[in-house]
Structure 1
Amino acid sequence: MREILDGVWHTLTGETPGPVELTGAEDVLPGPYRVAAAATASVAAATLSAGELLKLREIDPGVVTADTRHAAASFASEAFSRVEGASPEPVWGPLSGNYRTVDGWVRLHCNYPRHEAAVCWGLGVPGSRDVVTKTVAGRIAREVEHAVVSAGGAAAELRSPEDWAAHPQGEAVASLPLVHLEPIDEAPKRTLFYSDRPLGGVRVLELTHVLAGPVAGRVLAAHGADVLHVGAAHLPRVETLARDTGQGKRSTFVALDTEGGRARLKKLISRADVLVQSFRPGALERIGFGPAELAELRPGLVIADLSAYGWEGPWARRRGFDSLVQMSNGIAWGSDGPSPLPVQALDHATGWLAAAAIMTAVRRQVTDGGTWRVRLSLAGTGHWLDSLGRKDPGSSEVDYSDLLEQTESGYGRLTRVRMAGGLPGAEPHWDFGTRLPGVDKPTWTP
């Protein structure tokens, strides 16, 4: 696992990581992919990045630690989320799932009404799973994918790794780095306010939805950032995921489809230090918040853009989710049908790696100045995971109970996975439990 972490850290910083201890075995998660190793390296990278910020504050970070069992639990955190002990609500919509076609398989993502409507419109069927199953069974997988995507929905054909490698988007993803971090404009150096936490006094504006972006914000909040999640009252949510990823964040609603809402967002950005966004690529640019506009509005801002399929290639603007990317890029390839990863590792790893990159960019902003842009994608993370090789697919029985804790939240008494990653100089933790969506004012705390 150490060589994996060394590679990630070199990509982020060009340096060798400081003192770090990685523990545990990879058999905590089943399947042939090295998901537990990737999870551990991602957690360690983010924690090391936080430690570097402590050094800027003249605080000794100590020896960073990351354990495979704790990392695996964090990568499945939504499965452990409980309110008053009740099991979490389903995260998949009635029409979401894998469907057999004439020549293979296709996955339809229907967790939101607009995506379900796109499936019905694109395939010319009512919202009945039986009807969708019958219709899809008589069509070619690529034809179904195209029909749904063209209608504004989200779908993916199950491709083999070889097919993906030869696909123009697969080629584009393979040519991109795991993390792209660069200065995009000049700006004065940042001065960190006094704090005994890595991100104390750092304001993070989070314009994200499931799942990678919210995970990144959750990690930043655990290291002391003031994270304000911006949503909209009219947009649907997957409550289990929103509740799980909202730890330590404030939550507000801003209607970006109105002039007043966009004016409010400008005020928030003008006082932010970091902007994390996972809108469909191009969406923020269309309403006046592209990288150039953001750099002008807030010189010195760290901008983190997360996407499904990367920022180059014919699918750069395509909607996508973890389960769809696994289908497209061959990770879910199986001779008897889709065989997905044991957890939504592309989402979670991208979130942790994004947090690591953001903290690295904040450090560079302090030492060098500049406005910085960070870019990652689920497909890029998938390419990285695939490059790590394979392991024995078997797994051991794992008890995660000691990694769970309870806290008060806007939803009631909440059970959650404790924050992963050890940082003796400032152990990461959330200052409060998840708040109800939209309960906070769209302003920064003093």
Structure 2
Amino acid sequence: MAYLVTELATTCVRMATQAAHDLWGRPAPAIDPGHAFEAFRSERHTRVIGADPSPLWSPLSGDYRAADGWVRLHANYPHHADAIRRALGDDPATTVGGTPAVAVEDAVLAEGGAAAALRTRESWLAVQGSSVRTEPLVALEELASGEPVARAGDAPLAGVRVLDLTHVIAGPVCGRVLAAHGADVLHVTPPGWPVLLDVMRDTDFGKRQCTTDLAGVRALAAEADVFVQSYRPGSLGFTAEDLAEAGTVVVSLSAYGHTGPWRGRRGFDSLVQMSTGIAAGDPPNPLPAQALDHGTGWLAAYGAMTALARGGSWHVRVSLARTAEWLHDLGQGDPVSEADPAPWLTETDSDFGRLRHIRVPGATVRLPGPRRPGSDPADWTWTA
């Protein structure tokens, strides 16, 4: 038996696609479950034509057997790899093998790294899961009332400005979905922030790219219709409420939820699968896709478009952990059968060369290829 990832993917894509077409006043197309599932594995399909594929994981990333179970280390960012070495030494496997899994997790987190012990459902519910289960799947909090903006154009989100201050998969997927329905998406990379180019090549179709500091981010956010951010609470220096007067829809994504003792904890899809017991097994049994990341990204896009339809300023909150709880509640069924992705593959030119990739399901515009970080000015009025 396996988790119902195809059902999760199809539902998330349908929700966002329907929200887009509701804004447009047109009927939404049917969503092929196979297309939705492969879209949830899009990073596996995006390749520079003629180049060898890069590994999805760094050498230190992976599942390690601990003294009493399993722990996963996430080292794709260089500073997280450095934190692992500070906590565990140059041979993490040896250190982990003689240490309880939760102690390894605590040591890596204390050094500013990313790790997660494999927990049982009972353990997860005791430490954070019970808090997460009280949260809506997509929370929408009205900050200031207002009238919906009249929309007319060749796409549901034509003329909508989206500031994308996110990284890795969930947040960038949200921005990619909004771009796929015509939004003007400006992706910000803070100065000096490390970039996972292989992931960016997949998630940044249809976006402009700029670099600016937090003061610049706040100025751009005040002129945006939607501001999508995935930074931990308090790290930006301003809040969703600070943008309410401007009528901005703020979308906040987190790993472990927006309430409870873990609300500020650093996390990624593979780690949340471990923490929530989704990956339970010996060795751990991960999902066939980064479904928590992708699902949360599509749900974030759904929330943003739902808020735009209502008008005014809203705070939309989603999290990987809450998506994991939804997946858990869907139950289990037969394992996913691998499908040939060929029907949904296409090719697009980009700053990185010609890319082969999965089309965004339900898209109403054809997206241009991704641009390199910092390629464009931090300016809404600039056009090429």
Whether these two folds match at TM > 0.5 is yes
Selected match of 1:410 from 339, 351, 370: 351
The equivalences for 1:177-196 within 5 A come to: 177-186=136-145, 188-196=146-154
1:253 maps to 2:211: yes
Selected match of 2:10 from 36, 40, 58: 40
| One-letter amino acid of the counterpart of residue 40, structure 1 | T
For 2:180, the equivalent position in structure 1 comes to: 222
1:430 and 1:251 map into 2 onto residues whose CA distance is 18
1:134 and 1:419 map into 2 onto residues whose CA distance is 43
For 2:201, the equivalent position in structure 1 comes to: 243
1:78 and 1:40 map into 2 onto residues whose CA distance is 18
For 2:73, the equivalent position in structure 1 comes to: 108
For 1:146, the equivalent position in structure 2 comes to: 106
The equivalences for 1:33-432 within 5 A come to: 33-55=3-25, 61-123=26-88, 125-126=89-90, 131-165=91-125, 167-186=126-145, 188-256=146-214, 262=215, 264-284=216-236, 287=237, 289-296=238-245, 298=246, 300-334=247-281, 336-365=282-311, 370-393=312-335, 395-421=336-362, 428-432=364-368
Structure 1 residue 179: Cα displacement: 0.8
Structure 1 residue 193: Cα displacement: 4.8
1:434 maps to 2:365: no
1:212 and 1:338 map into 2 onto residues whose CA distance is 22
Structure 1 residue 89: Cα displacement: 1.4
2:239 and 2:272 map into 1 onto residues whose CA distance is 25
Gaps of 5+ in 2: none
Tell me the alpha carbon deviations over residues 168-192 of structure 1, each in whole angstroms, 9 at most, x when there is no partner: 3111011111110120234x32423
Structure 1 residue 356: Cα displacement: 0.7
2:30 and 2:262 map into 1 onto residues whose CA distance is 37
Structure 1 residue 85: Cα displacement: 3.5
| One-letter amino acid of the counterpart of residue 275, structure 1 | F
Q: Which has the larger radius of gyration?
A: 1
Structure 1 residue 408: Cα displacement: 0.8
Tell me the alpha carbon deviations over residues 87-142 of structure 1, each in whole angstroms, 9 at most, x when there is no partner: 4312212211111011000011111122112112223x13xxxx110111011111
| One-letter amino acid of the counterpart of residue 245, structure 1 | T
Tell me the alpha carbon deviations over residues 125-161 of structure 1, each in whole angstroms, 9 at most, x when there is no partner: 13xxxx1101110111111111111111111000112
Tell me the alpha carbon deviations over residues 346-402 of structure 1, each in whole angstroms, 9 at most, x when there is no partner: 00000011101110000011xxxx310100000000000000011012x43421112
Structure 1 residue 318: Cα displacement: 0.3
Number of aligned positions between the proteins = 382
Residue 173 of structure 1 contacts residue 310 of structure 1 at CA under 8 Å; is this kept in 2? Answer: yes
2:310 and 2:144 map into 1 onto residues whose CA distance is 13
1:77 and 1:428 map into 2 onto residues whose CA distance is 18
SS of alignment partner, residue 286 of structure 2: coil
Structure 1 residue 164: Cα displacement: 1.4
TM-score, reference length from structure 2: 0.96
Tell me the alpha carbon deviations over residues 184-242 of structure 1, each in whole angstroms, 9 at most, x when there is no partner: 234x3242353121000000000000110000000000000000000034211211110
| One-letter amino acid of the counterpart of residue 326, structure 2 | W
The equivalences for 1:13-28 within 5 A come to: none
For 1:4, the equivalent position in structure 2 comes to: none
Percent identical among aligned pairs is 51
TM-score, reference length from structure 1: 0.83
Structure 1 runs (4+) deviating above 3 angstroms are none
For 2:379, the equivalent position in structure 1 comes to: 443
1:249 and 1:356 map into 2 onto residues whose CA distance is 18
| One-letter amino acid of the counterpart of residue 197, structure 1 | A
| One-letter amino acid of the counterpart of residue 242, structure 2 | E
* Farther-moved stretch of structure 1 (141-150 vs 88-97): 88-97
1:392 and 1:431 map into 2 onto residues whose CA distance is 35
2:78 and 2:203 map into 1 onto residues whose CA distance is 22
| One-letter amino acid of the counterpart of residue 390, structure 1 | Q
Gaps of 5+ in 1: 1-30, 56-60, 257-261, 422-426
Residue 23 of structure 2 contacts residue 151 of structure 2 at CA under 8 Å; is this kept in 1? Answer: no
Residue 419 of structure 1 contacts residue 428 of structure 1 at CA under 8 Å; is this kept in 2? Answer: no
| One-letter amino acid of the counterpart of residue 252, structure 2 | D
| One-letter amino acid of the counterpart of residue 153, structure 1 | G
1:70 and 1:202 map into 2 onto residues whose CA distance is 26
Residue 139 of structure 2 contacts residue 318 of structure 2 at CA under 8 Å; is this kept in 1? Answer: yes
2:370 and 2:287 map into 1 onto residues whose CA distance is 27
| One-letter amino acid of the counterpart of residue 51, structure 1 | H
* Farther-moved stretch of structure 1 (266-275 vs 204-213): 266-275
